[in-house]
Structure 1
């Protein structure tokens, strides 16, 4: 059921108070209403059942932009995070919404594949604790060097901790020094079994990386800036679970990908719920590539990014004579 316009202020007040932990006077200042109104809205939220994860995130999915993105890109569900004046911190709002959405999507007994990155780690850091039975969280790609602050194993284990779930790490490097070494490691029974089991996941969580010097794979030392520039010139458009994809969302044919230890894209596509979270403005082209490749079924984005996605699709559909 859609949220009526008259109920939106109630949902916003409940979101700020219960999710962000603001005091009632702080909520009043954020929404430019009286403290008495906040107290009234919170009571109404409790009385009508608005105060729960599902209905709070409905505030972000019940949006014209979200419906349009679902229709245009054939997605199962989209959550659009507005950049409004009541937002506490735009950089923190997307992970907060995504963390609540993620918990909504998890069912008891699920097997969850988790990639890595700043967005995923921030989500894990703000995620509510849940006691779900028989849930397993598995790492989708090999690991990175110790100095990196949001390694794949850290993302996996923190999310498992938040869900009171079993966590399974990938005890292999993300990138090997040679193709034969990478192939040999993939053939090891433990690694081969873990890679094969990705297709059995019910839900995957990841973002998509850029192909520039700000990319995670460059910052962690897996690639040099010059290497990344060369891959981009060769057609790289984005990074999924440490792997280079082209503009169609297919695995790029390159030496780097042949040295990577990660779930293959076919296994990722077979996962029923593939949740992608994007908050950076710089990720339009990588996100378009991931969407083109069918690597996303559930999407959390900002309103500006949602508008850019729709505008890009409209420009693709315009006749060449225009």
Structure 2
């Protein structure tokens, strides 16, 4: 035991390399290596990780364990009541930069202000890694807002080297018959076929109250639809597919008029990265996690803490 402590202190406290320790103590380097391992096994040496300020590894691990996630990223937001979008966008850009791999096919929801900001701050990938960037929800709307949806897809494709695949239709159309007709148009059919090839889905998580961007697009649900969804127990949506607090899909009155990826198709995507924050979205995020709508979450500290309460 005395020898264990001596070797451990020489290595960890004095910073000597293993060959130096072996020479000083007149023993072989493999024996030094074995002694260092034994020091750990016998609890003589303990490794302590001290996260720097702003890193919330324990919260992230707790979210992963509670909801069965692949990954969780919890970000610090400056002060209470501040806009969470810049912090979430920066984290999303960083995660994409670190995790995108060659051959990825990215699906992206069209009407997320946070994802738009993420693309604005993202760096170009060199060399190109992504095969395609595909809209998962109709991207047409009012002319002054449609530019955002188109720019989101085209800019992400430009940054990653992928081919943009647009969904040239409104998300909500007037009838089921019109939806079926538009779905057979060549450009729209191409996008729908690409949904089966997705390896990564990038989505926002919405509440019953449409975001300002979605409202201005002309694709937002009506007040009557909101009332009906509330009666059905809906708490939020991913790609305009609404679910209750348990994550179970609800039978929204406009489901047969929606042009977008189907729930089962979305949940079959290997990595489903949801980006959402702010205490007003806690119920929606909780439902999305419980229902497996996303399996990677980027959110803020306050929301993470609420998600871990019963």
- Structure 2 matches for 1:118-267, cutoff 5 A? 118-131=113-126, 132-143=128-139, 144-148=141-145, 151-188=148-185, 190-212=187-209, 214=211, 217-222=214-219, 223-267=221-265
Cα gap change, 1:111 to 1:119, in 2 (>3 Å): same
- State how far apart, in whole Å, the 1-side matches of 2:302 and 2:85 are: 13
1:101 aligns with 2:95: yes
Q: Paired residue for 2:296?
A: 298
Kindly state the Cα deviation for residue 103 of structure 1 after the two structures are TM-superposed.
2.1
User: Residue 135 of structure 1: SS of its match in structure 2?
Assistant: strand
Q: Is the 8 A contact 2:168 2:187 kept in 1?
A: no
Give the CA deviation at 1:120.
Answer: 0.7
Bigger radius of gyration, 1 or 2?
2
Deviation of the 1:263 alpha carbon? 0.6
Match of 2:62 in 1: 68
Query: Are residues 150 and 287 of structure 1, via their aligned partners in 2, closer, same or farther at CA, if it must alter by over 3 Å?
Result: farther
Larger CA deviation: 276-285 vs 212-221: 212-221
Unmatched segments (≥5 aa) in structure 2:
1-46
Distance 1:276 1:3, change over 3 A: farther
Change (3 A) 1:150 1:276: farther
Give CA deviations for 1:39-88 in whole Å, capped at 9, x if unaligned: xxxxxxxxxxxxxxxxxxxx74x610000000010001111112367xx9
The answer for the alignment partner of 1:29 in structure 2 is none
Q: Shift in Å at residue 225 of structure 1?
A: 3.0
Q: Which residue of structure 2 aligns with residue 79 of structure 1?
A: 73
Query: What is the distance in 2 between the residues matched to 1:145 and 1:292?
Result: 34
Is the 1:273–1:298 contact (alpha carbons within 8 Å) kept by the matching residues of 2?
A: yes
| 1:308 equivalent in structure 2 | 306
**C-alpha distance after superposition, 1:256-309 (max 9, x if no partner):** 121010011111111111111112221111111111211111111101100000
Local SS of the residue matching 2:308: helix
SS in 1 for 2:282: helix
Shift in Å, 1:252: 2.4
1:4 to 49, 59, 71: 49
What residue in structure 2 maps to residue 40 of structure 1? none
> Retained in 1: the 8 A contact 2:63–2:304?
yes
Structure 1 unmatched ranges of 5 or more:
10-58, 316-322
User: RMSD over aligned Cα, in angstroms?
Assistant: 2.5
Preserved CA contact (<8 Å) 2:84 2:300: no
Q: CA deviation at 1:152?
A: 3.0
Quote the offset at 1:209 in angstroms: 0.6
Normalised TM-score (structure 1): 0.72
* Cα pair distance change 1:290/1:63, threshold 3 Å: same
Residue 187 of structure 1: how far off its partner (Å): 3.9
